[in-house]
Amino acid sequence: MLGPKDLVLCCGTVAKADLRGLVAAASAGGFQAISLWPQLYDGARAEGLSDADIRHMLSDHGLEIAEHDALLSWLPGTGLPDGGNDLGSALLRRSADDFFRIAEAVGGRSLNVAQAMPSGLSVAAAAEALVPVCEGAAKVGLQVSLEFLPWTDIPDPATGLAVVEACAQPNLGLMVDAWHVFRGPGEMAALRALPGPCVVGTQLCDAPAEPSMPAPLEALTARLLPGEGAIDLVDLVRALDAIGSRAPMGVEVYSDLLAAQDPVAVGRMAGEAARALLSRARSA
Structural domains in the chain? 7-282 (3.20.20.150)
Beta carbons of 114 and 80 less than 8 angstroms apart: no
* Sign for the pseudo-dihedral over CA of 192, 185, 176, 235: negative
Instruction: Report the chain's mean pLDDT, rounded to a whole number.
Output: 95
Q: How high is the pLDDT of residue 87?
A: 84
The per-residue pLDDT for range 228-269, each reduced to its tens digit, is 999 999 999 999 999 999 999 999 999 999 999 999 999 999
Q: Residue type for 242, please?
A: A
Q: What angle separates helix 51-60 from helix 38-46, to the nearest 10 degrees? A: 110
C-alpha–C-alpha distance, residues 249 and 175, integer Å: 11
Residues in CB range of 100: below 8 A, 6 or more apart = 111, 136, 137, 139, 140, 142
Rounded average pLDDT over 124-130 = 97
Rounded average pLDDT over 114-123 = 93
Which band of pLDDT confidence, cut at 50, 70 and 90, is reported for residue 78? Answer: low
C-alpha–C-alpha distance, residues 142 and 134, integer Å: 8
The per-residue pLDDT for range 172-218, each reduced to its tens digit, is 999 999 999 999 997 899 999 999 999 999 999 999 999 999 999 99
Nearest by Cα to 125 from 163, 96, 95: 163
Per-residue burial over 98-114, b = 16 or more CB atoms within 10 Å of its CB, e = otherwise: bbbebbebbbbbbbbbb
Residues in CB range of 180: below 8 A, 6 or more apart = 147, 148, 149, 150, 219
Q: How high is the pLDDT of residue 233?
A: 98
The per-residue pLDDT for range 18-53, each reduced to its tens digit, is 999 999 999 999 999 999 999 999 999 999 999 999
C-alpha–C-alpha distance, residues 178 and 203, integer Å: 6
Residue 33 pairs in a beta bridge with: 8, 64
C-alpha–C-alpha distance, residues 173 and 143, integer Å: 8
* Sign for the pseudo-dihedral over CA of 72, 121, 218, 273: negative
Q: Residue type for 88, please?
A: G
Q: How high is the pLDDT of residue 200?
A: 97
Rounded average pLDDT over 129-138 = 98
Q: How high is the pLDDT of residue 80?
A: 54
Instruction: Kindly state the DSSP code that residue 67 receives in the 8-state scheme.
Output: E
Judge whether residue 81 has pLDDT over 70: no
Q: How high is the pLDDT of residue 79?
A: 58
The per-residue pLDDT for range 138-166, each reduced to its tens digit, is 999 999 999 999 999 999 999 999 999 99
Q: How high is the pLDDT of residue 83?
A: 47
C-alpha–C-alpha distance, residues 2 and 80, integer Å: 32
pTM: predicted TM-score of the whole model, two decimal places = 0.96
